Structure 1
Amino acid sequence: MLLNAILSTALAISPGLAPSTPDTPASELHDQLIGLVNDQFITAGLIHVHDGEAEWSEAVGVRDLTTRKPADPNGHFRIGSVTKTFVATVLLQLVDEGRLALDDPIDRHLPDVVPDGGRITVRQLLQHTSLLHDYMSEPGYSTNRWRGDARFDDYTPSELIDVAFTADADDAPGELWRYSNTNYIVAGLLIEKLTGRPYGEEVKRRILRPLDLDHTSVPGHRASLPAPHAHGYEPLPTSPPTIVDATKMDPSLDWAAGEMVSTTEDLTTFVTALLKGRLTSQTSLSEMRRTTPADPLFRYGLGLQEFTLPCADGPKPVWGHTGQLIGYLTFALTDGEGKSLVLSLNPYQQDPPAPAIVSIGVTAFCR
């Protein structure tokens, strides 16, 4: 995963990269974001920061390369795998209601859907320890790559499940951590089986409406983004490189693993409410934050990633999720104590540099 590679590299950087000027965090973040755009790493960057007392938003760059209108801080963007945190939250709410238990085997609720479903638990799905094959690893099924006209194809969850199970898991469930979007396709089906309603409607009913997240949506088969939004681009490996506009796509290929659309302010409200215990019981929140080693430099809970930032006064854990779809990168993080950072980037000709990403995190959480 590109995001994990970026963050793994970034978090290995010495705390000496933390800004040392007397400027305010807001002015430093402004300069850091401007630097990304001016160095042509991204076409637009949106940021929303809460320092525990005050909030600050900004947008830099342009919405698109044709009109070059300024990016809007209230712009919509594809949040990719941050969708997984919404889905996990709904399932933990269902656990709180006694509709299922985290250690229930999948077959108890979705018989004959998952191979070996009697040995794979709900917890293992949400934690990525089920070892189910990732359907997005199959050729033509990744929304992180240009797919031409195929990006407008629509899919059903059952079709994605069928793609996933063309290959079998080769390890016993629970033994290893392996990121797989298939886990959250199954999680979405589980929500639908338990509630009798589309998973997206449950996300709206249980999270979006109670938190007044009016600019967050579950798009289904809608290919366009709500206005305003920055466009996403992808360079093709031609000589010279050809830049294609990848903004429009049918998001059903991502479904419950990554289809949602939001804004920086809405995501700030969501991750803050979740980590402050407003959406689940404290017991369920503790389960979400109970992590397993996923990489030498980050850990994974139930729909939550835990990263440790190299602050000058010592390591600082932050919680949330990252997301990536073609043309869009998202970081939605909080320390659970009042500080939060949501960052949306539109990569252009190359990936954002790791030092720039970690510096933004350090400025937001360590000052």
Structure 2
Amino acid sequence: MTSSQIAASKPRRTRKTARRAGVAAVAVALLAGVATPAVAAPDRSAGRDRPELRAAMREIVDLGVAGVQVRVRDQRGEWAGSAGVRELGKAAAPPTNGRFRVGSATKTFTATVVLQLVGEGEIGLDAPAADYLPRFGLDRRITVRMLLQHTSGVFNQTGEYYPDGTVVPGITWSGREWVENRFRTYRPAELVRFALAKPLRFAPGTDWSYSNTNYVLARLLVEEVTGRPYAEELRRRVLRPLGLSGTSVPGTSPEVPGPHAHAYYRYEDGGRTKTVDVTRQNPSWISSAGDLISTTEDLATFASALAAGKLLPAPLLAEMRAPHPKSGVHRYGLGLFAPDLGPNCGGALLNHNGGVQGFATLMYSTPDGRKTLTASLTYVDDAAMSLAGTVPKVVETLTRSAFCE
């Protein structure tokens, strides 16, 4: 298993910086001065104990993660547990079904809504996106499909990193400047216009590059076609039908409603290192590319329902699952990754991980939806994305514990 199975919202970079890629910091930072990690009692109502998962959580905390909560559903039943701390300097473990910012796992929800509209004949998957969003002057070669599969070539609002080492900055999402302005509001159209003012990364349809802007455009497309806010459509089409009461679209609200673990950010200020709690932040900078708040239980229900064909007709689900050849080892379809763990681990899975400052999310399902793994990590993030190399270790530890023989 490789780090390509993490759903990164930052594009690929040079060898020097590639290890730092992730959605606004999926990396895991070392902690200093943390209280002795706690291990929450497993949720006994969710099935028998799973010592291998409890051991995996302890291993993850030992890597430097502040808190972790994990949920697995399979033929043995359902198990949920947590380890580490809910807040730095305190001993309480994270809640076993607390709320958290899911980052780019949001993209799978957004893609599902768009594809439902495709199934209803309201949107043409291979129609020019400009037909639905004429006000932005989009290149007419860019289709709706290209937005969902990251082959549009549209500039990534959070910055582009080219193979030759060239960096084209995007909006500020890290460092001291972001910390001090983390309650700023961005409007979706503002993000799109910022990105479209930059040259295309490549001719539409000729290559693959992960761009958050694609999914902000997808949100605006949903709103234009339905005449209703994106949040309302998501609630009407996905959240309420599946009973996902722990999932919310925050918009510009900085709050994380309900029980939750805390996320942190470390930065330099006048030669001094400061660590601040960034659990509260305005997520409008990422919009429908990564702003959802959810729980491990809700993500498991969603992933299972999607894989089992309860949200999309079979032909569109097949389109969603099919990796685009230009995505290479990422194996990206339409809002879904399709990592292959090998025959001893059940083969191909469906997933979309993600993260925003101090939060990281795992969301995996077998193709039939019968087995799921969902998890949330909280940690101390920083601009250097310290110890990003631990991300694949965390993913491997959990996926092997959940899916491998």
TM-score (norm 2): 0.81
Counterpart contact for 1:185–1:256, Cα < 8 Å: yes
- Listed one character per residue, the Cα deviations across residues 162-197 of structure 1 (whole Å, up to 9, x for unaligned) are 211231104210110000000001000000001110
Partner of 1:36: 60
- Listed one character per residue, the Cα deviations across residues 51-103 of structure 1 (whole Å, up to 9, x for unaligned) are 23411101111111144422101110000111110010001100111101100
Counterpart contact for 2:86–2:262, Cα < 8 Å: yes
Deviation for aligned residue 1:3: 5.3
Counterpart contact for 1:32–1:360, Cα < 8 Å: yes
Counterpart contact for 2:73–2:371, Cα < 8 Å: yes
Residues 1:134 and 2:162 aligned together: no
Partner of 1:357: 395
Between the aligned partners of 2:309 and 2:355, the Cα distance in structure 1 is 26
From 102, 127, 133, the equivalent of 1:104 is 127
Partner of 2:198: 167
Residues 1:247 and 2:279 aligned together: yes
From 2, 27, 35, the equivalent of 2:51 is 27
Deviation for aligned residue 1:112: 3.4
Deviation for aligned residue 1:114: 4.2
Deviation for aligned residue 1:38: 3.1
164-173 vs 101-110, which deviates more? 164-173
Partner of 2:261: 230
Q: Partner of 1:42: helix, strand, or coil? A: coil
Between the aligned partners of 1:32 and 1:87, the Cα distance in structure 2 is 31
Partner of 1:120: 142
Partner of 2:28: none
Partner of 2:248: 217
Between the aligned partners of 1:107 and 1:353, the Cα distance in structure 2 is 37
Unaligned runs of 5+ in 2: 9-17, 22-47, 160-167, 382-386
Partner of 1:204: 235
341-350 vs 253-262, which deviates more? 341-350
> For 1:334-345, what aligned pairs fall within 5 Å after superposition?
334-337=365-368, 338-345=370-377
TM-score (norm 1): 0.89
Q: Partner of 1:160: helix, strand, or coil? A: helix
> For 1:234-313, what aligned pairs fall within 5 Å after superposition?
234-237=265-268, 241-293=273-325, 296-310=328-342, 313=344
Counterpart contact for 1:333–1:340, Cα < 8 Å: yes
Counterpart contact for 1:79–1:329, Cα < 8 Å: yes
Between the aligned partners of 1:329 and 1:249, the Cα distance in structure 2 is 15
Residues 1:71 and 2:102 aligned together: no
Partner of 1:88: 111
Deviation for aligned residue 1:315: 6.9
From 47, 69, 72, the equivalent of 1:46 is 69
Aligned residues: 349
From 338, 363, 376, the equivalent of 1:332 is 363
Counterpart contact for 2:129–2:138, Cα < 8 Å: no
Q: Partner of 2:158: helix, strand, or coil? A: helix
Between the aligned partners of 1:269 and 1:365, the Cα distance in structure 2 is 17
Q: Partner of 2:325: helix, strand, or coil? A: strand
Q: Partner of 1:58: helix, strand, or coil? A: strand
Going from structure 1 to structure 2, the CA distance change for 1:27 and 1:293 (only over 3 Å counts) comes to farther
224-233 vs 292-301, which deviates more? 292-301
Taking only aligned residues, the RMSD between alpha carbons, in angstroms, comes to 2.3
Counterpart contact for 2:102–2:290, Cα < 8 Å: yes
Deviation for aligned residue 1:355: 2.8
Partner of 1:20: none
Going from structure 1 to structure 2, the CA distance change for 1:206 and 1:315 (only over 3 Å counts) comes to closer
291-300 vs 87-96, which deviates more? 291-300
Counterpart contact for 1:297–1:308, Cα < 8 Å: no
Partner of 2:34: none
Deviation for aligned residue 1:157: 0.8
Between Structure 1 and Structure 2, which shows a larger proportion of strand residues? 1
Going from structure 1 to structure 2, the CA distance change for 1:191 and 1:294 (only over 3 Å counts) comes to same
Partner of 1:21: none
Deviation for aligned residue 1:218: 0.2
Counterpart contact for 2:348–2:367, Cα < 8 Å: no
Q: Partner of 2:51: helix, strand, or coil? A: helix
Q: Partner of 2:242: helix, strand, or coil? A: coil
Unaligned runs of 5+ in 1: 9-23
Deviation for aligned residue 1:149: 2.2
Q: Tell me which amino acid in the other structure corresponds to 2:55.
A: D
Deviation for aligned residue 1:343: 1.4
Going from structure 1 to structure 2, the CA distance change for 1:228 and 1:314 (only over 3 Å counts) comes to closer
Between the aligned partners of 1:198 and 1:355, the Cα distance in structure 2 is 39
Partner of 2:41: none
Q: Tell me which amino acid in the other structure corresponds to 2:403.
A: F
Counterpart contact for 2:49–2:79, Cα < 8 Å: no
Deviation for aligned residue 1:201: 0.7
Partner of 2:35: none
Q: Partner of 2:181: helix, strand, or coil? A: helix
Between the aligned partners of 2:136 and 2:380, the Cα distance in structure 1 is 39
